[in-house]
Amino acid sequence: MLLKQIGIEFEVINIDIDESVNKNEMPSDYIHRISVEKARAGKELSKNNLPVLAADTAIVLDNVVLGKAECKEDAIHMLNELSGRTHDVLSAVTVIGKKEITKANISKVTFKVLSKDDISHYCGTGEPIGKAGGYAIQGKGAILIKKLEGSYSGVMGLPLEETYQLLSDCG
């Protein structure tokens, strides 16, 4: 887990919130809102006074948030859209301690041009299901990527630089 990588001990709090994008909601507003809602839900369920951290990441192509691939067909469609193009990966991290603070990170990911076979093979692994944009950079999806500008950990779902800053501010 990414938090262990930076020496942070943690306890997982399972929450359930609606992660739907609101009508006319900008992608940056969306990730900020979801990150805050997750942190607030976690704080309500927390059994101690420790800071609560939550994050959200969205794949954005042409200013549209691509959701999680729910099935193979979703993944195929998304990967065809991403093929040969650059998209944004927006991540927001919220920490609620003595105060509530949110930081955001934007990375740019460029996919190589994907053939039908590339997409079929990758989708056949099952990895794209449940993944935003239909891929996982930390898994087999790494072979789809030509270039990354920004935070590798942010594309994975938790930008470590911003996370460390927020947790440091909380003590």
Catalytic residue chosen out of the listed positions 18, 29, 56, 62: 56
**Cross-sheet strand order for the sheet of 100-111:** 64-66, 52-61, 86-96, 100-111, 145-149
Sign of CA dihedral 130, 112, 160, 39: negative
In the prediction, which pLDDT does 95 show? 93
pLDDT above 80 for 3: no
Range list of β-strands (E), 5-85 = 52-61, 64-66
Q: Name the token pair of 131.
A: 């993944």
Mean pLDDT of all residues in the chain?
Answer: 92
- The question of whether 56 is a catalytic residue gets the answer yes
Please state, for a pLDDT cut of 90, what percent of the chain lies above it. 77
Average of per-residue pLDDT across 35-51: 91
- pLDDT (tens digit per residue) in 24-40: 999 999 999 999 999 99
In the prediction, which pLDDT does 54 show? 94
- pLDDT (tens digit per residue) in 63-118: 999 999 999 999 999 999 999 999 999 999 999 988 999 999 999 999 999 999 99
pLDDT above 90 for 170: no
- For residues 118 and 54, give the distance between their C-alpha atoms in angstroms, rounded to a whole number: 34
Fold of 2-169: Maf protein (3.90.950)
Sign of CA dihedral 134, 159, 30, 170: positive
- For residues 100 and 120, give the distance between their C-alpha atoms in angstroms, rounded to a whole number: 43
Q: Check: pTM over 0.85? Answer yes or no.
A: yes
Tally of CB atoms within 10 A around 157? 18
In the prediction, which pLDDT does 169 show? 79
- For residues 65 and 26, give the distance between their C-alpha atoms in angstroms, rounded to a whole number: 9
